[in-house]
Amino acid sequence: MPYNLHNRNFLTLKDFSNQEIAFLLKMAGELKSAKYAGTEQPRLSGKHIALIFEKDSTRTRIGFEIAAADQGMHATYLGPSGTHLGHKETAKDTARVLDRIYDAIEYRGFSQTTVQTLADYASVPVYNGLTDEFHPTQILADFLTMQEHTGRRLPEISFCFVGDTGSNMGDSLLIGAAKMGMDVRLLGPKDTWPEQDVMDYARGLAEQSGARITLTDDIGEGVKGVDFIYTDVWLSMGDPESEWERRINLMKPYQVDSAMMGRTGNPATKFLHCLPAFHNAETEIGANIKKQFGLDAMEVTEEVFESDVSVVFDQAENRMHTIKAVLVATIGT
């Protein structure tokens, strides 16, 4: 059934009902098929979107830029330097300027309050491209990938998010899964568990949707039988670098390796990661970590990352198709 999402913000998954999320996923699948078939119809011609990035990005940036281009829309990238936002001009003023020129605004940065302020002061839709608190567009890509790789509906899918359970990714996956009635396990050291208010919110959603929520530091309990093991970096953008040592010590037992994949007891378990991932020491940060702490990889081993069960690049591709669905649903003609 179609839903009218015209002119809606997308600041957190809390903004949408489970039917609306299902509608966006269905639309993303259709847009993906149309692109593959060469039959995509531009529904955003002549429109403009401002893409604000206070933090780095590969997937979210290209997701918005290519989704916009495919649909006939122009995008302006406003990077971490070169605009006045934050240091010389408030979010409130920036919102009112962009509102006069653009049809939509995407924001990636630190504070959820900033994206909320942009939404409060712009009349055009504002999308959260990741804040310290939430990463809602990522979850759409994750759920589309899970559906594609199982051929099942979300309430029939189980996954375990391992590691930094109370992060922007952990909280967003929890809320999304609770909303959609999934079997979601959060597995990690107690120090990283989500705040009580997030757990209460998710449990409230689960009562309505029939979702099953497990929060545990026990690997066996967390991964038993799951369709997907999902992990993310142990330290997120904006977290202090001085935290690496403490985090590594805390998280090491939760590295996703072949042994953990095997412990699901489910031969069909697949591996997910929102990316970027520290699966070897071939990046600048990876090499520094290896030098300082002797680790060849962090949250996932090279073996699992490069294995056939890893579907991380399907997931990365789906960022673009799902972002496109959000754009078309909210500002498409």
**Using the 8-state DSSP alphabet, how is residue 81 labeled?**
S
Choice between 23 and 278, CB closer to ligand NVA: 278
Residue type, 52: I
- Shortest approach of ligand NVA to residue 72 CB, angstroms? 28
Is 59 an interacting residue with respect to ligand CP (CB under 6 A)?
A: yes
- Shortest approach of ligand NVA to residue 313 CB, angstroms? 15
Q: In whole angstroms, give the CA distance from residue 213 to residue 81.
A: 41
Question: How many residues belong to the chain?
Answer: 333
Choice between 117 and 137, CB closer to ligand CP: 137
- CA nearest neighbour of 230 among 157, 287, 282: 157
Is 25 an interacting residue with respect to ligand NVA (CB under 6 A)?
A: no
Of residues 120 through 139, those in contact with ligand CP by CB under 6 A are 130, 138
When binding is defined by CB under 6 A, the residue of 168, 172, 255, 315 that contacts ligand NVA is: 168
Active-site residue flag, 48:
no
Q: In whole angstroms, give the CA distance from residue 29 to residue 39.
A: 13
Residue 299 exposed, middle or buried by CB count within 10 Å (0-12, 13-18, 19+):
buried
Choice between 186 and 274, CB closer to ligand CP: 274
Active-site residue flag, 196:
no
When binding is defined by CB under 6 A, the residue of 232, 272, 311, 321 that contacts ligand NVA is: 232
Interface segment toward ligand NVA; rule CB under 6 A; list 16-24, 164-172, 203-211, 301-309: 164-172
Is 57 an interacting residue with respect to ligand CP (CB under 6 A)?
A: yes
| 199 CB-side CA count, 13 A | 13
Interface segment toward ligand CP; rule CB under 6 A; list 1-9, 53-61, 285-293, 296-304: 53-61
Active-site residue flag, 160:
no
Is 167 an interacting residue with respect to ligand NVA (CB under 6 A)?
A: yes
Compute φ and ψ for 126, nearest 5 degrees: -120, 135
Alpha carbon 19 to its chain centroid, in Å, reads 19
Is 60 an interacting residue with respect to ligand CP (CB under 6 A)?
A: yes
- Shortest approach of ligand CP to residue 281 CB, angstroms? 20
* Residue in this structure with the two tokens 């429109």, named with its chain if needed: 47
Active-site residue flag, 138:
yes
Tell me if residue 299 falls in helix, strand or coil.
coil
Active-site residue flag, 274:
yes
Sheet containing strand 158-162, edge to edge, reads 212-216, 183-187, 158-162, 228-231, 270-273
- Greatest extent of the chain over all pairs of C-alpha atoms, in Å: 56
The set of catalytic residues is 108, 135, 138, 232, 274, 319
Q: Which residues form the interface with ligand NVA (CB under 6 A)?
A: 130, 135, 167-169, 232-233, 236-237, 274
